[in-house]
Homo-oligomer: A and B are copies of this chain.
Amino acid sequence: MLKPLYDHVVLEPEKEENKTKSGIILTAKDNERPQMAKVTAVGPGKEGNALSVKVGDKVVFKAYATTEITFDDKKYLILKESDILAIVEGA
């Protein structure tokens, strides 16, 4: 299990990465990598401020700001919450 430090967030990319259930296609102009993923762990926050995202949220984020790791055969992305742009509701 990954326990992020401070304001870091762990994301798990969607299985069918570029498509949401409702058929939404998410693409990023800069590198064509999908930018939507599900939050799987959030850090405790920084300087007493808790984070705004929670486990289970679907989020869009700046793809270039992530560190990609493979853990237990799954890919995860870790980034700071400030690089998350928005929560996707109804996805």
Contact = CB atoms under 8 A, between A and B. Distances in A.
Copies of this chain in the oligomer: 7
Contacts of A43: 86
A69 B8 contact: no
A interface, how many residues as a size bin? 35 or more
A16 to B, nearest CB: 15
A35 B5 contact: no
A66 to B, nearest CB: 9
Contact of A89 (B1, B5, B22, B35): B1
A85 B4 contact: yes
A35 B1 contact: no
The list of the 7 closest CB pairs from A to B, nearest first, reads: A4-B86, A29-B68, A78-B85, A2-B86, A3-B87, A1-B89, A24-B72
